[in-house]
Amino acid sequence: MKTTVKLTYMIDALDTDLAGTENQLIKMINGLGGKGFEIRLVCFKDHPWLRKNAPSLACKTEVIELNQFKKPHTYGNCVRLVRFLRSSSPDIVHTFFPMANILGVIAARMAGTKVILSSRRDYGEWMNGRYMMMTRFANRFTTKILANSYKVKELTMEKEGVDSSRIEVFLNGIDTSRFENVRPERALKKSLGIADGNRVVGIVANFRPMKHHTTFLMAAREMLRQRDDVTFLLIGTGPLKEEMERLSRTLGIAESVRFTNSQKDVIPYLSIMDVGVNCSEGEGLSNAIMEYMSAGVPCVVSEAGGNTDLITNGYNGYTFKIDDHKTLASLILELFDDDAKRELFARNALDTIKNKMSLEVILSKYENFYKSLVNA
């Protein structure tokens, strides 16, 4: 039995610790480093964030540029990647994101790596015909594919033709200790221009088409027709932010809507929310929803992707059909009028997180899984 497992992670780019997959990978590196794992990280693209933060990661970092296929050096770097893997001889290669799931897997096979793992963490909205063909080819060489929700597992089986036995589900992990003793940040509420007595409905999601912020704003208009003591808080960045700001003005609700950028520490913003919302059409497993649940914020989320792996309708939150803004509005209003239901949902949500998705639980699962594959 090996006492130290040599583990190499590969990812297309690591340019933030705020996005879902990147955040999870960093937690895995820092959580497993020193626990019988010798970890290396290979990134296919350089970035200032990586250069600045690499020293704080519990691993050695290597950048091998594999992102410009019109450049001749890219093909030389494919050879360099294979040579790197041969020389470092990892027991396990685990890949994240489209290019790593293709080129990283093939390179690991060519280098003779015994255990090759590939990740699926979203609904594959980026995967066109060429990516699908190449991904299916690379899948031949994977030991297992790791999905971050049961819905993503089903999608991988359906679209990629992968047998159920070759896919394992590892839910995202969250450090619940960060959310202990959360108290409302009244100063923050005041700084955002929100009246102290107003209820706050929040959505934490970058402004991309799949996040369906339009549904959130349409629901806001429905609610404001019935009561005027509600403020709607949108937290995120992205290409559609200005469009959503214009839409709030068009709908005549701009005075009751607040926009703010993505936050390194979102907990103060969660502390002032009465209800947290997710309207997405294709989540893998939403870190934002997990943060709502950990912070005691009752959730109303779309029936999409891994959202239903987190929220069971009527038990630890409410779910609604994608783009049904009227039902979304009515469910939020129902929670406003039922203190006992809000408290029940918050309590059950926290129990769900602690029992299934606490960082300790997930890291232990990865540790045992990795070591079992190497020692098999």
User: What does the pLDDT average to over 37-66?
Assistant: 94
- Tell me which of 204 and 128 has the higher pLDDT: 204
Asked if 120 and 97 count as a contact pair (C-beta separation under 8 A), the reply is no
How high is the pLDDT of residue 1? 67
Q: Taking 90 as the threshold, does the pLDDT of residue 304 lie above it?
A: no
How high is the pLDDT of residue 42? 96
Distances (CA, A) of 204 to 211, 253, 305: 10, 19, 17
Asked if 41 and 24 count as a contact pair (C-beta separation under 8 A), the reply is no
User: What does the pLDDT average to over 254-279?
Assistant: 95
pLDDT single digits (tens) 158-175: 989 999 999 999 988 888
How high is the pLDDT of residue 125? 60
Q: Which of 29, 140, 115, 133 is nearest to 369 (CA)?
A: 115
Name the percent of the chain lying above pLDDT 70: 97
User: What does the pLDDT average to over 315-333?
Assistant: 97
Among 75-79, 126-130, 292-296, 299-303, the least confident range: 126-130
How high is the pLDDT of residue 69? 66
How high is the pLDDT of residue 9? 97
Domains defined for the chain, CATH in brackets: 5-173+358-375 (3.40.50.2000), 178-356 (3.40.50.2000)
How high is the pLDDT of residue 124? 63
pLDDT single digits (tens) 269-299: 999 999 999 999 877 788 899 999 999 999 9
Asked if 5 and 92 count as a contact pair (C-beta separation under 8 A), the reply is yes
Q: Taking 70 as the threshold, does the pLDDT of residue 138 lie above it?
A: yes
Mean pLDDT, all residues of the chain: 92
Distances (CA, A) of 135 to 7, 59, 99, 147, 267: 22, 27, 9, 15, 37
Instruction: Give every CB contact of residue 106 below 8 A, 6+ residues apart in sequence.
Output: 137, 138, 141
Which pair of tokens denotes residue 199? 């209820």
User: What does the pLDDT average to over 179-190?
Assistant: 91
